[in-house]
Amino acid sequence: MSLPPPPKRRPGRLPDGPGLTTRSNNKNVHPAEAAGLVPPAAERRTAEQKAEDKAKAAEDKKQAALEHHNKLSRLAAIEDRQRREDMVYHETAHHPIDPPRRSRAPSTPVSAHEELPAESEDEMDLGSHIALYPQANDSDSHDESGLFAPPSDDEDDSDSDPDSEDSGDNGNVKTSALRKQKKLKITRSDIRDLRETEDVVGTPEVEASGGKRKATDDGNAKSKKGKTAKKGGLSIGIKETLKRKSTKEVEDDDSMVHFGGPALDDDAGEVVEREKSIIRIDAPAKKITQKELRGDGSKRWRVSHIPGPASNGDIFTNKVWPHLRKQLGRAFPWDTVSDAQAQVELDRYYGKNVMSAKADVFSALIAYRSHYWRSGFPLQAHKCILEMVQDAAKREEEGTADPDDYKLHTVEGMQSYIEFSLEVDDKTQTKAFYWREWDADAEKYKGLFQSSVVLYTYAHHLNCLDGLPDGIETNEPALGALILASQAVEHELGFWKTGTYIAPSKAQKEQFSFERWGDYEVEATATSPKRRILRATRWVDSLKKWKPEDWEQVNMRAAKYGIRKRSGGSFVGIDKLCKLKQELY
């Protein structure tokens, strides 16, 4: 079954009225010129103007040719004057007579009875003067016109009608730039035509004095007897003398003992030992690697590599390192333990000068554990945010959530909390998460570095001090650890800006390191001097002003987040902290 053809489309009806046309005065309207964006086009030249320009161009060309001729005349006059001075100097000056060069006798002398061809006689009469000094007027062999000729310009050689620029049908045509005029070439031949004197090429011949020897024409002059060369090295007969002395007659007997030691059985295959040289060439010293120093093939240093009994490793882990870690918390952020500080602790527990802090094993162990200690702050901050999210979800589920609290378990709530925490105060240049109480509208701030997230992270250091043999001091001034805790919190909040956690990559700029959070210097420029940007030590001076009571209050507030009482009463500091914690909270 075939389908019917589609219906025909009805043509659209044109509207009544005149069609669209171009305005007749468009050719005389120039909006860009009226607005001043482009200069107005020049008017077309008339026939009278063309004739005047053509006559002026011919007159200018004639004047340029005259000036060119005058310049050539002045240049030729200068060269004529210099040439006349040279001629006067040549006639009046005293020229020393140089001896002629000694000619060598030809290898195949010509007999006196043989007649030389005419060409050879001419060459002998003229000598080498023809080859060395060509004629000045020989244009084929010595053409200097190319030295002074300007580079050829093909565009200037073409003669075009200057009126061709006005060709066209448009009424207003912008005149083009004047064409580059053809330059007049200056050649040496033009200058020579105007000169009155003629240059001489080459050095003029000078007559030799009669007292000097001159080679004969036949070429058979006796050569000068050479001097006897001085002898060098050994004389001719010395070899025979040495040979006679080295060969001695040996008595024909059965004795095996001769002068110089026992004789060998095979005299033909005798090998004489060379005399030892006084110059000693030692093999290059082989550098001992760290892996070879460890002795067991380990890639890293361990406490088992500490010299002495195995108990030395326990002493370092339980006594030396806890005190060094305590000093790290008191030092400036991102500082390291000095050799002097380490040597004090080593002498304290190992004995005076028994161990050296500069040993590779102690330097490596201290560096390893310092890195692990700093890495604990961002881990503690991440743990704090996760617990806050879980706690918000739990309270929302139980119905005990405060309406004013941030709903951290949602993307919108987390974004709002991160935006509030990273808010910067223009007056103090601090951020909201630094303070225990923050009111930006009233400009009231209380408790620097005492917010819950900072103290939770700072508790990582207090947990590490839990292993001190003599306990924890309640007023421990760990300013370095507190600043590192605040930096770790800011480092962690940056990964929650989208409302969900985005794990950092292994790139250096996303790691919690000195390169990202330590102080650095900016080199001097033309407008600013060299300066130091304080990122870690900015708050050191403020924390140094804290009293022991302030540090005790901070440590007590952080105790509820991290310090847990151990079984046994050997750690006095922990018991005291827990007691004070119960009094405060």
Which residue, 355, 364, 357, 358, is CA-closest to 301?
364
- DSSP track, 340-390: HHHHHHHHHHH-TTTS-TTSHHHHHHHHHHHHHHHHHHHHHHHHHHHHHHH
pLDDT of 388 reads 93
Q: Are the CB atoms for 360 and 293 separated by under 8 Å?
A: yes
pLDDT value for 103: 59
- The answer to the question of residue 298 being in a domain is no
Of 407, 366, 412, 405, which Cα lies nearest the Cα of 390?
407
Domain count, the chain: 1
For residue 281, tell me if it sits in a domain. Answer: no
Domain assignment present for residue 38? The answer is no
Q: Give the HSE-up count for residue 280: Cα atoms under 13 Å, Cβ half-sphere.
A: 1
Q: How far apart are CA 110 and CA 119, in angstroms?
A: 15
Q: Is residue 316 part of a domain?
A: no
Contacts of 370 (CB under 8 A, 6+ apart): 325, 328, 336, 337
Please tell me the distance from the alpha carbon of residue 27 to that of residue 23, in angstroms, as a whole number. Answer: 9
Q: Can you give the pLDDT at residue 176? A: 46
By three-state DSSP, how is residue 107 classified?
A: coil
Rounded to whole angstroms, the Cα distance separating 512 from 379 reads 10
- Describe the crossing of helices 452-465 and 548-562 by its angle, rounded to 10 degrees: 90
Q: CB of 434 within 8 A of CB of 448?
A: yes
H helices present in 519-568, as ranges: 540-544, 548-562
Is-contact 337 328, C-beta < 8 A?
yes
Q: Is 413 helix (H, G, I), strand (E, B) or coil?
A: helix
- Strand, helix or coil for residue 561: helix
Q: Per residue of the chain (585 residues), give pLDDT as tens.
A: 556 666 666 666 666 666 677 777 777 777 788 888 888 877 788 999 999 999 999 999 999 999 999 998 999 899 999 989 988 888 887 666 666 666 555 554 444 444 444 444 444 443 433 333 344 444 444 444 443 444 444 444 444 444 444 444 444 444 444 455 566 677 888 888 888 888 776 665 555 555 555 555 555 555 666 666 665 666 666 666 666 655 555 555 555 555 555 555 556 666 666 666 677 777 777 777 877 777 777 888 898 889 989 899 999 999 999 999 999 999 999 999 999 999 999 999 999 999 999 998 999 999 999 999 999 999 999 999 999 999 999 999 988 888 888 899 999 999 999 999 998 888 888 899 999 888 867 677 888 899 999 999 999 999 988 767 676 788 889 999 999 999 999 999 999 999 999 999 888 888 999 999 999 999 989 888 999 999 999 999 999 999 999 999 999 999 888 755 443 333 334 344 444 334 333
- What are the structure tokens assigned to 493, written together? 């909040």
Q: Is residue 66 in some structural domain?
A: no
Rg (CA), the chain: 53
The residue range of the domain holding 501 is 378-521+531-584
Which residues, other chains included, contact 135 with Cβ-Cβ below 8 Å and sequence gap of 6+?
A: 141, 142, 201
| CA gap 456, 383 in Å, rounded | 9
Q: Indicate the DSSP class of residue 308.
A: S
CA distance 160 to 178: 12
CA distance 319 to 469: 7
CA-based nearest residue to 294, from 285, 286, 306: 306
CA distance to 82, 231, 247, 248, 249, per residue, from 238 (Å) = 71, 13, 15, 17, 20
Cα torsion 124, 125, 126, 128: sign: positive
Dig out the tokens for 63 from the structure: 């004047």
Q: Is residue 464 part of a domain?
A: yes
- Residue 376: CB partners within 8 Å, gap ≥ 6? 460, 464
Q: What residues have CB less than 8 Å from 496, skipping those under 6 apart?
A: 385, 414, 418, 502
Taking CB atoms within 8 Å and a gap of at least 24, the contacts of 299-305 are 300/364, 300/368, 301/360, 301/361, 301/364, 301/365, 301/368, 302/365, 303/365, 305/361
Question: Inter-axis angle of helices 452-465 and 321-330, to 10 degrees?
Answer: 150
Bridge-based pairing of strands 261-262 and 257-258 is antiparallel
Q: What is the DSSP string of 47-74?
A: HHHHHHHHHHHHHHHHHHHHHHHHHHHH
Strand partners, 444: 439
Checking phi first, is residue 17 left (phi over 0); if not, alpha (psi -120 to 50) or beta?
Answer: left
Which string of b and e fits 183-215 if b means at least 16 CB within 10 Å? eeebbeebbbeebeeeeeeeeeeeeeeeeeeee
- Are 476 and 555 spatial neighbours (Cβ–Cβ below 8 Å)? yes
Residue 333 in domain: no
